[in-house]
Amino acid sequence: MRDFLPEDVRRREYVIDVVSGVYRRYGFEPIETPALENIETLTGKYGEEGNKLIFKVLRRGEHEASGETDLALRYDLTVPLARVVGEYRGKLPKFFKRYQIQPVWRADRPARGRFREFYQCDVDAIGSRSPLVETEMLTAVSEVLQTLGFNDFTIQLNHRQLLTATLNRSGIDPSLHTTALVALDKLDKIGRDGVLAEMAARGIPSAAASAVLDPVAPREWRSLPDAEGAAAYENVETILLLCEATAASGHIQFAPFLARGLSYYTGAIMEVSVPDLAGSLGGGGRYDGLIGMFLGEDVPACGFSLGLERILVVMAERKMFPPSVERGSAEVLVALFDPASVREALKLAAELRAVDLRVELYPEPDKLGKQMKYAASKLIPFAAILGGDEIARGEVTIKNLTTGTQESIPRATVGSDIASRISRFGFGNGGSRTPDPASR
Amino acid sequence: MRDFLPEDVRRREYVIDVVSGVYRRYGFEPIETPALENIETLTGKYGEEGNKLIFKVLRRGEHEASGETDLALRYDLTVPLARVVGEYRGKLPKFFKRYQIQPVWRADRPARGRFREFYQCDVDAIGSRSPLVETEMLTAVSEVLQTLGFNDFTIQLNHRQLLTATLNRSGIDPSLHTTALVALDKLDKIGRDGVLAEMAARGIPSAAASAVLDPVAPREWRSLPDAEGAAAYENVETILLLCEATAASGHIQFAPFLARGLSYYTGAIMEVSVPDLAGSLGGGGRYDGLIGMFLGEDVPACGFSLGLERILVVMAERKMFPPSVERGSAEVLVALFDPASVREALKLAAELRAVDLRVELYPEPDKLGKQMKYAASKLIPFAAILGGDEIARGEVTIKNLTTGTQESIPRATVGSDIASRISRFGFGNGGSRTPDPASR
C-alpha cells in the first residue's frame, strides 16, 4: 500500500478528471459505494483464489474476541454495482449508465506494479443488448485515451460465443473448453507453439489444438454452421462497422483469439493495449448473466475497466503529463521580511489569489535570501517582495526565480502580470486557470 | 455506511472541488494515504473509547484462523499525517502545507447524521509557530465557505493557554482543569446554569465555577498575571488583527469559553458554525506537541478539519447547490428510431460531445414517444431527432422537453445552438463548460 505525495496525487487526479469528464459526456453518471461490504455479499463471488484475497474485518465490541468477521473490504466494483442495481432498482433509469472510480483491496503478495490497494475505473451500461452499447463504450474509452495523449492504442474485439464456435469447429469436446481457453488466453505471452504445448498438457488432441489457431476467412466466419457462432460474428462485424464512425476508428480490430480470463462474459469481449506495455491498459465485455445472479432475473449489461495504475505507469515513462500537473505547487511566494508589512503581505496574497494564482505566504519574517532558497527548492517560479518602499510607491518587486531577474510592477496589475507570464512561459498552473482537457 | 447515487456524488464532488481549489490557491498541496494502516500505528492514539471504534482487519492465509489482526482502517487523517511527516521528512519542504480529503472509518453505533464511513477534509500547516499560520488557515476556511455560498458563518477563536489562565485566575486547582474544561465545553448546549451545575457535580467550588464564566475586559486579559496567559491573549489579538485584512474579517470573534474537546491542542483553537446547525461546521487548532510524539522532536503544527457531511446537510436544507450540480445528468438525448440512421446518430452524438455537451444516445431503435418519456424521466432537457428526412436536409430536429416545442436546426450549428440555450436557460451543465468556482 502506498502514500501519495502531492505530485502523485496531482497525476492521479489529472487522469481521473479526464476519465470522468469523458464518461460524463457519454451520459454515464458517477456512483460511489462504501469500502466495507457485508462479508456475505463478497464471499463466493470471486472463486476460491479470490476468496483468499479478501480483507476481512473483525467483529467489534463483545464479539471481537470471537475472531469472527462480518464485513470485508471491496474487492472489485462489479459486485457492488450488482448490489446497488438490486437495492435501488426502482430509483434507477431503465438504461443505467454508471461509472465508478474507487480503490479496491486485494491481499495479493505485493510485487512490482501490483499493490494491495489500487484504483479501478469502471464504466458499465445496464439494460440493453444493443451493439450500440459496446460501440459507445469503446468510443468513450478511445476518447479517454486520446485526451490523455495516447494515439497508438489498439482495441482487440472478440466474442465469447465465437470462441465457443471456434472450439466446437476444431472438434474440442465441450468439457475441455474452459481449459482450452485458459491456454488460448496466453497466446500473447507464450506464442503459438507455447499454446500448442499447453493445450497438449491440458489433454487436448494436437490436431484440434492447431485447428483452433488456424486463420479463418471472414466468409467462413459468416457461414459458421453453429448458429450462435454466426450471430456472434455478425455482432462483432456490427460493432466494428459502427466504430468506424467514431473515435475508435483506426484503433479497433477483430481478435479471434482474445479470450479474457473472467468466466462471466457472455458476448463481446474487448481489451485495450499499447505497444510498450505487456498486458493491457484495460478490458471488458458483455455479461448478461452476472447481475441476474444477484437479482434472480436476466439483466443485460456491458462493462469496461480501465487500469488507472497502468495508465499512470505508461504516462510517467512517456512523460505525458502536462507541465501544469508536474509543477502544481505554489506559483508565487509572497516574501516576508519586515514585520510592519505583514498586513500588506496578506492583502497582496489575497489579490494574487483573486486572479486564481496559487500563492504561498512565507509564514514568518526572515532573511530574503533564505526565503528565495526556500522558493527555489519548491520550484516556485516567482517571488513577490513587498517592503516599506514598495508599499509607499504602490509597487511590488517580482523576482523570477528561474532567471534571477527582478523588476518593480504597479501593485494594481501585479496579479494579471504574473498570471500572463506564467501562461506565456508554461509554468505550472495546475489546471486552475486553463480549463482541464475534460473538466468534471 | 452509504451508497452514493449520481446526485449525491455530484454534490459531494462539488464541495470537494471548492475546498481543494481554495486550499491549493493558499499553497496547500494534496496527499493521500492508504485506507489500511499497521494496527500499531493506530492503537493507543485515540484513547480507550477510540480504540474500541477502530475497524481491525484479520490476518490472512494461514494466520486467518488465529483471529489475529495486523491492519486497521484509517480512523482520522491526523495520525496518518504524522506518520507521513516522519517517514518522508527528507522529501518534504521545511513548511509542509498539506490538505487531505479522504474517508475514515469508525465503528460508532450509526445514528442520524453519523456514519461509520465518512469523509474528513483536513488542512494542516507544519513547521512554523507564526500567527500567520492560523490567520491564513482561517482565511482559507472563510474563502471555502464564502465560495460555497455561506455568508452567515461565525469563527470562534480562543487559546488553550488562555483557558488555563482563566481556570487559574478563578482559583480552580490544576488537578481539576481537565474536568472543568469538559463542563465548559458544553456551554453552547446547556447554557450558563447547566455548566455551573455540571461544574458542581464535578467537584468544583461554586465561587470558582462562576468566576470562570465572569466576563473579562480586554484590559484585564492583557494584564493577566499568568505570563503564558498574557502571551496567549496577545497571540489571539494578533490573529484577530491580521484576520481583519482577510476574507475572515467580520466573521471572527474572540470566544473565551470555547474549549474544544481534543486534548492535544497547545495554542489557538477555533471553531466555525452557522446559526441553523447545532454543533460546528468544522474546527481546529495548534498542536505543537502531537507530531513530536511520533518523531521524538518538537514540530509545530496547526490544522483545521471541515465537516464535509455537515456542510452537505446544511447546503441541501438551504438549497445552496447550483443548478448545474442538481441537474447533472445528460443534457441531450439523441433519439434512435430508424435502424438506417444509427451511424448518423453516432456522428451527431460525437458532434454534440465535441462542444462539451453531455449526451446520451438511446441504445436501441424504439418508438419516439417512449424515448421522449425516458428523457423526461431523467430530466434531460433536450432531445435530438435525426430521421432520413433530416439527414437528407442536413438538419436535426430539436425538441425542448420542458416546453414540448420542437424545431429544425441546421446540423452544422446544432451543438452550439443547444449549448447556448442551456446556458441561457440555466439548464444543468454539471460544470462541464462553466468553470467551477474553484477548479482543481
Class of domain A325-425: alpha beta
Q: Residue A128 and residue B364: Cβ atoms within 8 Å? A: yes
Inter-chain contact A353–B31, Cβ cutoff 8 Å?
no
Nearest to A6 among B30, B55, B430 (CB): B30
pLDDT digit string, tens, across residues B48-70 = 788 889 999 999 888 888 888 99
A124 interaction partners in chain B (CB closer than 8 Å): none
Instruction: Closest CB to B58: pick one of A69, A87, A377.
Output: A69
Cβ under 8 Å to B: A residues 272-331: 328-330
Q: How many residues does chain A have?
A: 440
Chain B residue with minimal CA distance to A85? Answer: B5
B-chain residues near A342 (CB < 8 A): 132, 242
| ipTM of the predicted assembly exceeds 0.95 | no
Within chain B, all domains assigned CATH 3.30.930.10 are found at 6-35+74-170+214-321
Q: Cα distance from B65 to chain A (closest Cα, Å)?
A: 8
Q: Do A364 and B132 touch (CB under 8 A)?
A: yes
The partner residue sitting opposite B360, judged by closest CB among A3, A27, A435, is A27
Convert the pLDDT of each residue in A60-113 to its tens digit: 888 888 888 999 999 999 999 999 998 998 899 999 999 999 999 999 887 776
What pLDDT, on a 0 to 100 scale, did the predictor assign at position B151?
A: 96
Strands A96-105 and A29-30: parallel
> pTM of the full predicted structure?
0.92
Mean pLDDT value across residues A158-173: 93
Is residue A150 pLDDT above 50, yes or no? Answer: yes
C-alpha cell at B301: 503544527
CATH topology of domain A6-35+74-170+214-321: BirA Bifunctional Protein; domain 2 (3.30.930)
CATH for B326-425, options being 3.10.20.90, 2.40.30.40, 3.40.50.800, 1.10.540.10: 3.40.50.800
The predicted pLDDT at position B415 comes to 94
Chain A, window 177-216: residues with a beta carbon less than 8 angstroms from a chain B beta carbon: none
Question: What is residue A363's predicted lDDT score, i.e. its pLDDT?
Answer: 96
- The pLDDT, as a whole number, for residue A27 is 97
* Contact (Cβ atoms closer than 8 angstroms) between residue B268 and residue B302: yes
Tens digits of per-residue pLDDT, B68-80?
Answer: 899 999 999 999 9
Mean pLDDT for the stretch of residues B384-403: 93
A435 interface with B at CB cutoff 8 Å: yes
Q: Which long-range contacts (CB under 8 A, 24 or more apart) does B392-395 make?
A: none
Least reliable range by pLDDT among A20-24, A132-136, A386-390, B154-158: A386-390
What pLDDT shows up at residue A49? 81
**Minimal CA separation from A396 to chain B, in Å:** 18
- Does residue B26 have a pLDDT over 90? yes
CATH 3.40.50.800 residue ranges for chain B? 326-425
Q: What is the average pLDDT across A196-225? A: 91
Residue contacts between A and B (CB atoms, under 8 Å): 273
Residue with cell 532558497: A373
**A422 pLDDT band (50/70/90 cuts)?**
confident
SS3 state of residue A111: strand
**pLDDT of A438 strictly over 50:** no
- Contact flag B88-A3 (C-beta cutoff 8 Å): yes
Interatomic CA distance for residues B37 and A21, integer angstroms: 32
Chain B residues within 8 A of A135 when measuring between CB atoms:
346
With a pLDDT cut of 90, the percent of chain B lying above it is 74
| Beta carbons of A199 and A263 less than 8 angstroms apart | no
Residue indicated by cell numbers 462471466? A264
Q: Name residues whose C-beta falls within 8 Å of residue B3's C-beta, 6 or more positions apart in sequence.
A: A31, A32, A33, A34, A84, A87, A88
In the stretch 108-127 of chain A, residues with CB closer than 8 A to chain B read 116-117, 125, 127
Q: Do A317 and A152 contact (CB within 8 A), yes or no?
A: no
pLDDT tens-digit series, residues A311-347: 999 999 999 999 888 887 899 999 998 888 999 999 9
Best mutation site among B57, B59, B348 for testing chain A: the one with the most A CBs within 10 Å? B57
pLDDT(B92) > 70 = yes
Q: Does A32 touch chain B (CB under 8 A)?
A: yes
pLDDT at B388: 87
- For B67, nearest residue in chain A (alpha carbons): A67
Q: Give the mean model confidence (pLDDT) for residues A185-206.
A: 92
Please, where in chain A does CATH 3.40.50.800 lie? 325-425
Is the separation of the CB atoms in A145 and A93 below 8 Å?
Answer: no
